């Protein structure tokens, strides 16, 4: 009879995602008091938000560490630490990892400013710029960059790449599930910004924007990870930059303006994915050098 350990070793990626959702979503439901007590308004959300984020982040971080130990043992932890310390990758990759998200956020805001002054970047519209900046960077580095990537890039991405999946397929698989995992947090936060739209409409829209946008960004992250020789450090910085940008830069808009901004930003992300693919000859995955035939 097969044991749980045998199942995990034979199906490491499936086991990882199952554990991520069991810990992350399960803990949220327990903390909220059950499905009937999920936050439905801004006051409830703000009251539970700090605790929700803590238990939610335990999903990918704990799952990544546990599965690394169960599947790969001590060698897996040594490999994980080695990838986290892999920093000699070239300045250009650091620039791409750190600047992609903020440049896209600012670019979309500037483009939409041509239609309405309400699309000014959030950091310029708030009265407490220092707090927003420090909180965004801190949460980006710790929550997104470190804790989440212990699972997404620490375990799931290399496991899929080892199974001969390419960058695009790996990015799509991890990205879709990464986006779905974010839906409770992003959906509740977004529902408070969707203006007169009902929860029945705003939550599905949030699911679409979250999954579509994060999937595109994850494809870019997997591409950078593979091209930098599996540098987790660069991937962690790229995630940290996205999280910090999401907190600091989006315009403080609600209703249709909020939905418009998310729609445009998501579309731009996929355009960037397409441009990267075209620039690499249609292949996101690094292609092996062609061998000359010997006559």
User: Residue 90 has which token pair?
Assistant: 């070239």
CA distance 5 to 21: 19
- Tens-digit pLDDT profile for residues 25-69: 888 888 766 555 555 555 666 677 777 788 889 999 999 999 999
**Angle in degrees, 0-180, between the axes of helices 232-248 and 91-113, rounded to the nearest 10:** 20
For residues 250 and 143, is the Cβ–Cβ distance under 8 A? no
Delimit the domains of the chain by residue range: 88-279
Handedness of CA 60, 187, 235, 247 (dihedral sign): negative
Contacts of 221 (CB under 8 A, 6+ apart): 153, 171, 235, 238, 239
CA distance 44 to 37: 9
Least Cα distance to 89 among 192, 238, 282 occurs for 238
CA distance 214 to 270: 10
Local mean pLDDT, 10-residue blocks, the chain (295 residues) = 80 96 88 60 66 86 96 96 96 97 97 95 92 95 95 97 93 96 74 55 79 97 97 98 96 85 96 95 74 41
Statement: the pTM of the whole predicted model exceeds 0.85? yes
């Amino acid at each position: 009879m097969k044991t749980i350990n045998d199942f995990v070793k034979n199906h490491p990626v499936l086991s990882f995602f199952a554990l991520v959702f069991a810990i992350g979503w399960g803990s949220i439901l327990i903390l909220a008091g059950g499905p009937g007590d999920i936050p439905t308004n801004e006051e409830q959300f703000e009251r539970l938000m700090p605790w929700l984020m803590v238990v939610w982040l335990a999903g990918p971080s704990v799952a990544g560490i546990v599965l690394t130990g169960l599947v790969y043992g001590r060698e897996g932890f040594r490999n994980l630490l080695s990838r986290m310390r892999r920093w000699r990758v070239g300045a250009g990759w650091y620039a791409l990892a750190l600047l992609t998200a903020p440049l896209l956020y600012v670019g979309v805001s500037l483009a939409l400013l041509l239609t309405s002054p309400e699309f000014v970047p959030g950091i310029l519209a708030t009265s407490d710029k220092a707090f927003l900046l420090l909180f965004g960077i801190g949460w980006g580095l710790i929550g997104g960059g470190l804790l989440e990537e212990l699972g997404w890039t620490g375990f799931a991405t290399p496991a899929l790449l080892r199974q001969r999946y390419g960058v695009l397929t790996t990015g799509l698989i991890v990205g879709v599930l990464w986006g779905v995992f974010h839906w409770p947090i992003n959906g509740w936060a977004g529902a408070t910004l969707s203006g007169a739209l009902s929860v029945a409409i705003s939550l599905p829209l949030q699911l679409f924007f979250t999954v579509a946008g994060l999937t595109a960004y994850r494809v870019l992250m997997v591409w950078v990870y593979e091209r930098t020789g599996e540098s987790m450090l660069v991937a962690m910085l790229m995630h940290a930059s996205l999280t910090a940008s999401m907190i600091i830069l989006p315009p403080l808009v609600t209703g249709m303006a909020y939905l418009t901004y998310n729609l445009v930003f998501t579309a731009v992300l996929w355009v960037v994915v397409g441009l990267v693919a075209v620039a690499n000859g249609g292949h996101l995955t690094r292609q092996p050098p062609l061998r000359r035939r010997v006559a």
